[in-house]
Each structure stands twice: as C-alpha cells, then as structure tokens.
Structure 1
Amino acid sequence: MINLTDNAVNAAKRAISASAPPAGGLRIAVEMGGCAEFKYTMGLAASAEPDDTVIERDGLKVFVDNKSHQHLAGTTIDFVVALESAGFTFDNPNAKSCCSCGKSFS
C-alpha cells in the first residue's frame, strides 16, 4: 500500500485542476537512474494503463505500474513546503540508501 498525506493529496489535486487538458490522476513510477540505483518519477496522466494499480484517496486517483509498485509498497508520500523549496518527498521503507536530494534510492 502506498500512503499519501493530506498535503500530498491537496498538492496533486491542485496540479490536476490546473492542467489542460484535465488529467485523470497522478502517475508515480520508479525508473532506473538517478544518484543511486532507482529514481522516483511523477506526472499527470489522462488515465490508468492496463497494468496499473489504481489508488484512490479523497477523490484523487494515483496510477502506479505493477513493476514500480513492488518498490513503493509501504511508502508514504508527502508534500513539503520549506523556505528554500517545495516538493514531494518519499519515505520508502524498501530503500536501503537514499541520495541527498531524496529523489533516488537503492
């Protein structure tokens, strides 16, 4: 199960409502690359793909392909606003190590 905080849900909903054409949800994936072995990717998507797991929370649909889902099980996604930046963060219990930017892991 992937968990999204209220801040993450609200940030994603704002992005979806501002998109043109309207997006159907948020796509979260894990790809090879980044400072460590894997990197997180996020973006708006029109709809789910056939091999996606669809997670719904408070009207937000999150699409995760099955290959990525195994790397993200148990992850909590938050949206943090700090003095220097704002963005999504991942607290992934499957990660053995993370890079300093927080966007990639091994």
Structure 2
Amino acid sequence: MLTDKAVDAVRGVLTAQTETVAGLRVLVKTGGCAGYEYALGLEVEPAADDAVLAYGDDVKVFVDPVSLPLLDGVTVDFVEDITGVGFRFDNPNAVKTCGCGSSFSTDANAPGGTCSSKRA
C-alpha cells in the first residue's frame, strides 16, 4: 500500500508526535463528488477488527474491514511537486475520480459531481 517515500513521510510524522501514536489510519468514507473519499489519521491503537500493515518495526497502517476491499491494490505515495506536498492515492479499483484526486467511485454509473473517467 505505501511506497518507500510514503513510509518515510509517515515515519517522520509519527516520530514528531509528542503523544503516543501507534500508527496511521487509512480509510474510505462516503463523500466527495465521486461517492467515496480517502481519509488519513493518527491512531493510539488499532481497532480489534482492523487489518494491520507493518512497514519495518516502526510504521503501522490500520485499515477497517469496510475500507479494506475499497483499498485493495491501492498505492499511497508521498509527493512533493509544484502543485503541492502530500499523499497521493493510486486506486486501480476506481472507475471515476475527481480532479482533486481525493474522491473516487468504483461504479461508473454512480452519481457524482465533476469527475473524470479513469477507465473507458
């Protein structure tokens, strides 16, 4: 799921925390103009039913069971370019995405706002 650059970025965020944080939560929630949107957050501990992905001994990613199938095959990269700095999601399951890159749909017929088609 995470590229090496994304792991390094998460590691930096985790070590900068003054409170104990166990890992990064990656989830999909309803919203955005395409139907779903990605969300990231820091967690003190994983939920009992979370999938836990480990990157070395110090970076853990928590994914809830509802988000897990929507994130299957997703690559999360950390990008620093002229348009900004942040995490970028590449989701092979997305058939519609929005220009902002944070909203997607796995159903080409799903209602949504101004989105671009990812697949023909």
> Of 25, 28, 43, which residue of structure 1 is paired with 2:26?
28
Identify the residue that residue 60 of structure 2 maps to in structure 1.
61
**Structure 2: gaps spanning 5 or more residues:** 106-120
CA positional deviation for 1:22:
2.3
Inter-partner Cα distance in structure 1 for 2:93 and 2:81: 25
Q: What amino acid does structure 2 have at the position aligned with 1:96?
A: V
TM-score, L = length of structure 1: 0.94
Identify the residue that residue 82 of structure 2 maps to in structure 1.
83
Identify the residue that residue 114 of structure 2 maps to in structure 1.
none
Inter-partner Cα distance in structure 1 for 2:40 and 2:87: 9
Identify the residue that residue 96 of structure 1 maps to in structure 2.
95
Aligned-residue Cα RMSD (Å) equals: 0.8
CA positional deviation for 1:37:
0.3
**Structure 1: gaps spanning 5 or more residues:** none
CA positional deviation for 1:36:
1.1
> Of 6, 10, 13, which residue of structure 2 is paired with 1:12?
10
Residue by residue over 1:44-86, the C-alpha shift from the partner in whole angstroms, topping out at 9 and shown as x without a partner, is 1111001100000123100000100010000011000012310
Identify the residue that residue 69 of structure 2 maps to in structure 1.
70
* Higher Rg: 2
Q: Secondary structure at the match of 1:67?
A: coil
Percent identity between the two aligned chains: 45
CA positional deviation for 1:25:
0.3
TM-score, L = length of structure 2: 0.84
What count of residue pairs does the alignment treat as equivalent? 104
